[in-house]
Structure 1
Amino acid sequence: MPTEAEAETELAAVLRSRGLRMTAQRQLVLEAVRALGHATPERIHERIRGQVEGVNITTVYRTLDLLEELQLVSHTHLSHGAPTYHLSGDRGHAHLVCHRCGRITEVDPTMFAGVRREVADATGFVMDVGHVALFGTCAECLEKHA
């Protein structure tokens, strides 16, 4: 994972290559996504409001859309609410979401290779498990409620 300085330089370079300029709002949103790991636009807004003028929830949504278009962030739907944003990486990951405590655990999508193959063999459908969310109960919650 790049440092904040490296990410800022990367963001500036990507923006310049598209004829866009670096703004404090864009940098703050990207930094918030990095710091929070998985966050809704509302959580990102809570983290950065007051740090620079002109950052309202609409600005956060627009900035997230731009950062996703630039392939710097990705979103996943981890519940029925707003999408959750995280930094884009060179590999995908599946999200294991605990119904009880809300913990989100990332796992390598290759864990699902057998399931992908079985579904493809049975239906001809090829699943993309790069950014999937699976719901269940984490080990700690199972232990607490045993």
Structure 2
Amino acid sequence: MTSGRALPLEGMDAAERIRAAGLRVTDSRRAVVEALHQRPHASADELYRTVALSVPQTSLQSVYNALADFVDAGLVRRIEPAGRPGLFELRVDDNHHHVVCSRCGAVQDVDCAHGAAPCLDPADTHGFTITVAEVTFWGVCPTCAAS
């Protein structure tokens, strides 16, 4: 479960972001944050391949552990487009959505068009207090459309 708190992270380096989230800085954690900065919407496996270039002693499990810690601390957001592995991003400070290419799987952020979180209201909440709405738009990206 995420903490739901927004961290003021703009302009901070990886170590500062990790400390601001209340976590201990390690080489693997720092490398995961840097990889996410370079590759938003990456899977854990994709991040591991990037991290292993700069921290060769890291393991896939340490990347998964770091991502779980980051999600719990509110530093990273996990998104789960249908039929895809979980993807991770550093953009956690707003209620934005995503557009996913149904052919190649490319993912882009889409700003919320209807105000602050949860930005959409269901017809029936069934007694729930709604805090976030996650919307995934599916379509064909310009690269796939051109081919």
Give the TM-score normalised by the residue count of structure 2. Answer: 0.74
**Secondary structure at 2:30's aligned position in 1?**
helix
**Secondary structure at 1:97's aligned position in 2?**
strand
Q: 2:55 aligns with which of 52, 55, 69?
A: 52
Residue 45 (structure 2) pairs with residue 42 (structure 1): yes
Residue 70 (structure 2) pairs with residue 67 (structure 1): yes
Q: Identify if the C-alpha distance between structure 1 residues 37 and 91 changes in structure 2 by more than 3 Å, giving closer, same or farther.
A: same
State how far apart, in whole Å, the 2-side matches of 1:55 and 1:79 are.
Answer: 29
Structure showing the higher helix proportion among its residues = 1
Q: Gapped runs of 5+ residues in structure 2?
A: 1-8
Q: 2:21 aligns with which of 14, 26, 31?
A: 14
2:98–2:107: 8 Å Cα contact kept in structure 1? yes
State how far apart, in whole Å, the 1-side matches of 2:24 and 2:101 are.
Answer: 40
Matched ranges for 1:1-146 at <5 A: 2-3=10-11, 5=13, 7-15=14-22, 20-111=23-114, 116-117=120-121, 119-120=122-123, 123-124=124-125, 128-129=132-133, 131-138=134-141, 141-142=144-145, 144=146
Q: Gapped runs of 5+ residues in structure 1?
A: none
Q: Identify if the C-alpha distance between structure 1 residues 99 and 111 changes in structure 2 by more than 3 Å, giving closer, same or farther.
A: farther
Runs of 4 or more consecutive aligned structure 1 residues displaced over 3 Å after TM superposition:
123-128, 138-142
Give the TM-score normalised by the residue count of structure 1. Answer: 0.74
1:77–1:133: 8 Å Cα contact kept in structure 2? no
**Secondary structure at 2:85's aligned position in 1?**
coil
1:29–1:48: 8 Å Cα contact kept in structure 2? yes
Question: RMSD between aligned alpha carbons?
Answer: 2.9
Question: Aligned pair count?
Answer: 134
